[in-house]
Structure 1
Amino acid sequence: MTSPHQIFDATVIGGGFYGAAIAIYLAGQRGLRRVLLLEREPSLLARASYHNQARVHNGYHYPRSFTTAFRSRVNLPQFVRDWPQAITQDFTKLYAIARRNSKVTARQFERFCRDIGATIQRADATLQKLFEPRLIEEVFLVQEYAFNARMLAEQAARELRDTGVEVWFETCAKALHAAADGRIRVSVQRADGTLQAVESTYVFNCTYSGINQLEGDFPGVKTGLKQEITEMALVRMPPPLAELGITVMDGPFFSMMPFPARGLHTLSHVRYTPHAYWMDARGVNPYTRLSAYPQETRFDRMLRDVARYIPSARDMEYVESLFEVKTVLQKNEGDDGRPILWEKHEELPGCYSILGGKIDNIYDVLQKLDTENLPIKQPYNV
């Protein structure tokens, strides 16, 4: 049964961090009076925003993509100011440069960090001794943070309430159609199977891996996307490593980052974290593929390699793995850049598709929105 539709100024599809932050921005800073946020899960930030390294980047991760690195440096201070309760700083962050197969040398990495204005210094002897010197050229002490995804979701929920955004959980957007008066009709399915339609002057498609899965008049994104099924292992670190975050780069690339939402660490590895991949296409639902994939951990292989570089890592305890679909722009596979995807669909005026590779890229999105003139074409019906 289809119920009568409601009219909103804007509908944001996807209640991950990007969708929530954009809804807050539209209602709180752009003055849109009726904003609707649709989320297929029962809570905010339940998928890719949670199933990741929980790293707030400061540029170090991207020595082969200056633009991505520099934007991280610019965005980090504002992210820390805006989301302070979710930020974890009480750990020591190290970046180690491998002697073999690394795409950057220690000297190049140090120069790169200084070029983007990122704090860096050589780690002291106690920290250096954690690493196998035959495999590690240099170890640097840097400034990088982690975020607590649960606390981030709690703050986002408060701000959505405070700005008057209406949130519909367990609601899946199915299709977009051009409607009367220049609005867009969004067909949705509620948790009980009820079909409903809402209309909006603007629609923001922030569904991450599902960005191409809307039907109807939605044209799909023009940018080529790659989908990956990834594994993030959750581990309990041994005492020598418990207060550290460590990244070894840039080739034999792995990271052990604090995961504040669980009081654990994530372990990811460039070779073993990606399990499967395919080029994104409409009608190929990434989440269906994920649910059908045999989610068997590769932790043992990750650990075997990590322990070569950091012997004390052998004593880490495996807890479980988070499997998720990661979406990247095909054009950035070679340089590891993580720019935002921003497409304004001229075929469906008022519709935008937005995808970001890093949580702190949200400010690049908001800056882009600042350049858009978002008048309300037709007053909504009360």
Structure 2
Amino acid sequence: MEGARTADFDAVVIGGGFYGCSIAIYLARQRGFKRVLLVEREASLLQRASYHNQARVHNGYHYPRSFTTAYRSRINLPRFVQDWPEAIRQDFTKLYAIARRNSKVTAAQFQRFCRDIGASVVPAALEHKRLFEPRLIEEVFLVQEYAFDTTRLAAWAQRELGEGGVEVRCNSRVVAINGLPSQQQQVVVQGQGLASEAITCRYVFNCTYSGLNQFAGDFPGVRSGLKQEITEMALMRMPDTLEGIGVTVMDGPFFSMMPFPARGLHTLSHVRYTPHLHWNDQAGLDPYARLDEYARASRVDRMIRDVERYIPAIQGAVHVDSLFEVKTVLLKNEGDDGRPILFEKHQGLPGCYSVLGSKIDNIYDVLEQLDGEAFTPASRQERQGIEY
């Protein structure tokens, strides 16, 4: 590549969201990697999908049709709270309500499911039940579920990356991944000025979420089918009666409200109205470019009109902003709401991995997979002896 410089790293991690940062920190802290590079296309870390979501630390309640996902969330939640206590908000009441019609679970089934995964569930207090329209809601339960503050997670990541010696390049993106002799990889990085740099490394970790398949060169793409959605997460200022409360109505075409600590507001999402547009992922169709071109006309009015049938007090809420983002899910889990991780090793590019998680607590599933990998970071002599 004309004008390109060559630098050598043990690993290049592509994507500065929570997963990319956590993997880079893990490689430096736990696996002895001395030279790790983290490449992020935004101006700072944890600015895309890690920020533009419900900020919910799941405890399993959300997945009655996928026992494995529910149980893993239940196991991972206390670990997450212990590992990131400064980022966790617990000072609110979380309610799950079961709709009388169009729900895939009854109240009795939901209680039994919670017992099966070991998640706390008790009937809600009368004052909280009174928030709901009884003709539409069968039962309301008090549960244990928390929210996280992405800004505090970003501060943690910045600190740990620095202390671990990880080099971070923001406002940069990887445009190609190629295989080289001796099981080396080459990533081509473009900075703000579009100048390209060819970087060699032993390992590549593709943690770009919606951008998993958007690389030129030898990168084959992931084997699993992906669905992309442009979604709207409405940010609301709640009336006093709902201020310290989070609500999820189960299990069908309903909605959820969660505290959003990073802004001091609540998110409002709706199964029908949060997804604006969807398509099957394919190479060459950049999801982020499609999002940039999208008109972003809010559907919050439709959300509120439906929600107020179940919770009349929502009429006092004020729409402050909407977060539009691309959401990526595995096609194979469209029917059961399962949210496993995607962890692919690319056989044609030894040392190249693609990772996708759909929930923040999935990070433990990723780290367990990485624990089983036999990594061998390049020695200083090996790095000095590489010539291309």
The equivalent of 1:177 in structure 2 is: 178
- In 1, distance between residues paired with 2:383 and 2:341? 31
Give yes or no for contact 1:182–1:377 (8 Å, CA) kept in 2: no
| C-alpha contact (below 8 Å) 1:86/1:152 kept by paired residues | yes
Whichever residue aligns with residue 206 of structure 2, its letter is N
Residues 340-369 of structure 1 show CA distances to partners (whole Å, capped at 9, x for unaligned) of: 011100000000000010011000000000
Partner of 2:371: 370
- Cα distance between partner residues in 2 of 1:353 and 1:268: 28
Q: Which amino acid aligns with 2:168?
A: V
Stretches (4+) displaced over 6 A = none
Report if aligned partners of 2:186, 2:200 keep a CA contact under 8 Å in 1: yes
Contact 1:340 1:361 in 2 (8 A): yes
Which residue does 1:158 correspond to in 2? 159
| 1:230–1:276 CA contact under 8 A, matched in 2 | yes
Instruction: State the alpha-carbon separation in 2 of the partners of residues 81 and 13 from structure 1.
Output: 27
CA distance in 1, matches of 2:189, 2:377: 22
CA contact under 8 A between 2:234 and 2:322: conserved in structure 1? yes
1:93 aligns with 94
C-alpha distance in 2, partners of 1:52/1:41?
Answer: 17
The answer to whether the Cα contact below 8 Å between 2:124 and 2:140 also exists between their aligned partners in 1 is yes
Whether the 8 Å contact between 2:32 and 2:377 is mirrored in structure 1 is: no
- 2:364 is paired with a residue whose SS is helix
Question: Normalising by structure 1, what TM-score?
Answer: 0.99
Contact kept? 2:234, 2:267, Cα under 8 Å: yes
RMSD: 1.0
Taking the aligned partners of 1:223 and 1:14, their CA distance within structure 2 comes to: 19
Spell out the pairing of 1:89-128 with structure 2 (5 A cutoff): 89-128=90-129
1:83 CA displacement: 1.1
SS in 1 for 2:102: coil
Partner of 2:53 in structure 1? 52
Q: Does the 8 Å contact 2:213/2:221 carry over to 1?
A: yes
1:228 is matched with which residue? 229
Q: Residues 292-339 of structure 1, C-alpha deviation per residue, up to 9 Å, x if partnerless?
A: 111000000000000000011111000010000000000101111110
User: C-alpha displacement at 1:254, in angstroms?
Assistant: 0.5
Amino acid aligned to 1:256: M
Secondary structure of 1:181's partner? coil
Aligned length: 382
1:310 maps to: 311
Amino acid at match of 1:55: R
Alignment of 1:331-342 (within 5 A): 331-342=332-343
Indicate yes or no: 2:205 matched with 1:204. yes
CA contact (8 A) 1:98 1:252 kept: no
Paired amino acid for 1:49: S
Q: In 2, distance between residues paired with 1:364 and 1:374? A: 18
Name the counterpart of 2:190. 189
Distance across 1 between alignment mates of 2:346 and 2:10: 18
Deviations 1:247-279 (A, max 9, x none): 011013200000000000000000000000000
Q: For 1:293 and 1:335, how far apart are their aligned partners in 2?
A: 29
Matched with 2:130 is 129
Alpha-carbon distance in 1 for matches of 2:313, 2:359: 30
- Of 21-30 and 2-11, more deviation after overlay is shown by 2-11
CA distance in 2, matches of 1:4, 1:182: 20
In structure 2, distance between residues paired with 1:114 and 1:106: 12
Correspondences of 1:242-281 after superposition (within 5 Å): 242-281=243-282
The amino acid of 1:63's aligned partner reads: P
Q: Structure 2 stretches of 5 or more lacking a match? A: none
- AA aligned to 2:54 is Q
Q: Which residue identity does 1:361 align to in structure 2?
A: N
2:383 alignment counterpart: 380
Residue 63 of structure 2 is matched in structure 1 by 62
Distance apart, 1:376 and its partner CA: 2.5
How far is the alpha carbon of 1:377 from its aligned partner?
5.2
Quote the Cα distance in structure 1 between the aligned partners of 2:384 and 2:116.
53
* Percent identity over paired residues: 66
Letter in 2 for 1:78: R
Secondary structure of 1:2's match?
coil
**Residue 237 in 1 paired to residue 243 in 2?**
no
Say which SS state the counterpart of residue 38 (structure 2) adopts: strand
Residue 294 (structure 1) aligned with residue 295 (structure 2): yes
- CA distance in 1 between counterparts of 2:82 and 2:31 reads 20
Three-state SS of the structure 1 residue aligned to 2:344 is strand
